[in-house]
Structure 1
Amino acid sequence: MLPWVVRRTRLPLLSLRCVDCRSETATTGEGRFRVNANGKLLDVWLLVRCVSCGRTGKLTVHERTPVRSLDPAELDGYRANDPELVTARLLDPLLARRNRFTLDWTGAWRLDIPAAWLDEGWPVRVRVVFDDPVPVRPERLIAQGLGLSRNEVLRRIKCDVPLRRSTSTGFTFTVMAGD
């Protein structure tokens, strides 16, 4: 079974309406948190910047949270603007739902395929693994990887997930020999 790997090349853009210019695209920029203490309670925000006008906005990560309820390592990560913590929070679906944004993965991922995979005998079995939860339609991913049209993919591919429904979890498929 051949391995294909979907890897993130950068953080995705956020589909989030700017209050100034009404643009729908924002970025995390350098990935900075803002931590504000009020007595024994903390507020933590992830700062985002509008791609069009440059206005800075805030995504609520924690609101009025008791300091003792946070893991000390996590709190240090917020204070140090840890890039891995920025990524983890940005990819957290609960944060996206609470702050009403979606992720735009266009151009933020690549597909790594072994170089000599065509030397295999037909049919070829392939396992697709995701390093990050990049939502992609299997038919588009396979078409890109094989250099086929999407109609040809639908005709020649046997897959364990629906080809026309987005997924961000691993799957396997079999490529049948062409006519």
Structure 2
Amino acid sequence: MLPWTVRRTRLPLLSLRCVGCGSESFTTGEGRFRVNANGKLLDVWLLVRCVSCDRTGKLTVHERMPVRCLEADRLRGYRDNDPGLVAATLLDPLFAHRNRITLDWAGAWRLDGPPVPLDGVWPVRVEVGFADPVPVRADRLIARGLGLSRREVALRVKCEMPLRRSLNSGFSFTVLPAK
């Protein structure tokens, strides 16, 4: 059995329309939060930047939250712009839903693992693990890893789940010999 691992290489871009130029790609850049206190209530935003025109925007993380409801470590992470907290916030599905954004993972992940010997002993079993929850279609991932077309993947790969689904958790498949 060969192990493959999908890893995030950078944070994904955000699909969000820019009011300045109309572009739909934003980045978190260096990953900064803005924390604003109003009495005993806090507002926390994640700052984002348009890829095309550099216009800055902000996405709501917490709105009018009582200070006592926020853990001290988390508040410190927001103030210190903790990169792990930036990634966790951006990858949180509730955060994406609340701010009406989608994540663009193109070019933001890589596949690590040994190559599958396509001229070796058949069948070959491959176990795929995800170091980060990167949504990627199984057929595209397998095609990239094997260096085959998606049509060839459909003919030569046996998997318990549909190959045309986006996955972000581990699975395994078997590569069969060419016919």
Shorter-chain TM-score bucket reads over 0.9
**1:97 alignment counterpart:** 97
What is the deviation of 1:120?
A: 6.2
What is the deviation of 1:136?
A: 0.9
Cα deviation 1:145-170 (Å, max 9, x = unaligned): 00111111000100122101111111
How well do the aligned residues superpose, as a CA RMSD in angstroms?
Answer: 1.2
**1:47 alignment counterpart:** 47
**2:128 alignment counterpart:** 128
Equivalent pairs counted in the alignment come to 178
More displaced 10-residue stretch of structure 1: 118-127 or 16-25: 118-127
What is the deviation of 1:121?
A: 2.9
**2:7 alignment counterpart:** 7
Distance 1:87 1:160 in 2: 31
Distance 1:95 1:161 in 2: 29
* 2:25 is aligned with 1:60: no
Report the AA paired with residue 71 of structure 1: E
Cα deviation 1:108-144 (Å, max 9, x = unaligned): 00001225x4286311111111111111111111011
**1:155 alignment counterpart:** 155
Distance 1:49 1:121, change over 3 A: same
Distance 1:34 1:99 in 2: 16
More displaced 10-residue stretch of structure 1: 167-176 or 42-51: 167-176
**2:86 alignment counterpart:** 86
Distance 2:90 2:14 in 1: 9
Runs (4+) off by over 6 Å: none
More strand per residue: 2
Distance 2:29 2:151 in 1: 39
**2:146 alignment counterpart:** 146
Which runs of no fewer than 5 residues in structure 2 stay unpaired?
Answer: none
Which runs of no fewer than 5 residues in structure 1 stay unpaired?
Answer: none
Report the AA paired with residue 144 of structure 1: R
Specify the SS of the correspondent of 2:52: coil
What is the deviation of 1:39?
A: 0.7
Specify the SS of the correspondent of 2:31: coil
Report the AA paired with residue 112 of structure 2: D
Cα deviation 1:19-42 (Å, max 9, x = unaligned): 111110000011000000011110
Distance 1:85 1:143 in 2: 33
**2:137 alignment counterpart:** 137
Specify the SS of the correspondent of 1:14: strand
**1:178 alignment counterpart:** 178
